[in-house]
């Protein structure tokens, strides 16, 4: 009897211990370089880039073509590795993860909208989304995710039967259905017309403000920047400028 009581007490003591919370930045790039070797030529896609992103922040990454935006996003998403420097999530060194751990990081934490969609061609829109959530514990119903991007009635179409903008929206549905902690979007409105583009930005904003996801949007379109909490400007593989918007604008106020 006494043993049982002791056991319970220990249990209570265990669970009532203060959990040590990480108080540093949610994501941190410190002096990250990425060099691609093409024969004798070295391409410096990222050159000692440093920035931080806080949990729940809506971040826009701007920069010209070739500035290193996709490279940075791929590293954030655990899809590519740094050549040198440090990338940490909540103090955990992601650059030190082994391949299996990196796969887990991608699966559990990341939703990724690729610049060129990367849908599986022989699966329908619905099946593409279903596949993505297969290994998730907590996820959005794939049909609902497609409805949120305005494609509920196109679920049985294959990617080749959809326009570029529609494929882009399937890719967005696939990423948000995973309910990721970190949603990374590479030119999510690149293939969309003005009205659909705004609709998608509203959805990404909702994911950030209501679902508490950290959202990073890469774009050429500087008109999108005012919707962000933080704007990181890339130039020639370097971070040229970081701006904070105290009062991010609503999507309705954006014009391009």
What is the binding site for Mg ion (CB under 5 A)?
70
When asked if residue 68 is in the footprint of ligand ATP (CB under 6 A), the reply is: yes
Please enumerate in sequence order all residues whose Cβ is within 8 A of that of 210, keeping only pairs 6 or more positions apart, or say none. none
**Dist CA 93 CA 103 (whole Å):** 15
Name the residue nearer to ligand ATP (CB basis): 70 or 168.
70
Nearest-approach distance from CB 222 to Mg ion, in angstroms: 15
Rg (CA), the chain: 20
When asked if residue 168 is in the footprint of ligand ATP (CB under 6 A), the reply is: no
Phi then psi for residue 156, to 5 deg, are: -95, 5
Binding residue for ligand ATP, selected from 38, 39, 40, 252, defined by CB under 6 A: 38
Determine whether 16 is exposed, middle or buried from the number of CB atoms within 10 Å of its CB (0-12, 13-18, 19+): exposed
When asked if residue 88 is in the footprint of ligand ATP (CB under 6 A), the reply is: no
When asked if residue 69 is in the footprint of ligand ATP (CB under 6 A), the reply is: yes
Nearest-approach distance from CB 130 to Mg ion, in angstroms: 28
User: If contact means CB under 5 to 8 A according to the sort of partner, which of Mg ion, ligand ATP, none does residue 124 touch?
Assistant: none
Residue 236 region, left (φ>0) first, then alpha (ψ -120 to 50), else beta?
left
User: If contact means CB under 5 to 8 A according to the sort of partner, which of Mg ion, ligand ATP, none does residue 239 touch?
Assistant: none
User: If contact means CB under 5 to 8 A according to the sort of partner, which of ligand ATP, Mg ion, none does residue 68 touch?
Assistant: ligand ATP
What number of helices (H) and strands (E) belong to the chain?
Answer: 7, 10
Nearest-approach distance from CB 67 to Mg ion, in angstroms: 8
């Amino acid at each position: 009897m006494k043993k049982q009581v002791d056991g319970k007490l220990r249990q209570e003591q265990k669970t009532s211990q203060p959990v040590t919370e990480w108080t540093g930045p949610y994501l941190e790039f410190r002096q990250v370089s990425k060099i691609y070797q093409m024969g004798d030529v070295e391409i410096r896609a990222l050159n000692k880039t440093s920035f931080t992103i806080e949990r729940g922040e809506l971040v826009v990454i701007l920069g010209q073509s070739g500035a290193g935006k996709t490279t940075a996003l791929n590293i954030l998403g655990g899809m590519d590795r740094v050549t040198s420097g440090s990338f940490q999530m909540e103090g955990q060194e992601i650059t030190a993860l082994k391949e299996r751990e990196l796969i887990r990081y991608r699966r559990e934490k990341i939703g990724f909208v690729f610049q060129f969609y990367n849908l599986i061609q022989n699966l329908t829109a619905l099946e593409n989304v279903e596949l993505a959530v297969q290994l998730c514990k907590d996820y959005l119903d794939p049909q609902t995710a497609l409805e949120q991007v305005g494609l509920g009635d196109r679920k049985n179409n294959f990617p080749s039967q959809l326009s570029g903008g529609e494929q882009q929206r399937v890719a967005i549905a696939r990423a948000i259905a995973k309910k990721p902690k970190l949603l990374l979007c590479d030119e999510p409105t690149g293939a969309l017309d003005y009205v659909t583009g705004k609709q998608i930005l509203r959805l990404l904003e909702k994911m950030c403000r209501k679902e508490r996801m950290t959202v990073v949007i890469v774009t050429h379109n500087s008109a999108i920047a005012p919707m962000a909490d933080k704007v990181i400007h890339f130039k020639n593989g370097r971070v040229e400028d970081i701006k904070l918007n105290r009062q991010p604008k609503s999507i309705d106020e954006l014009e391009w």
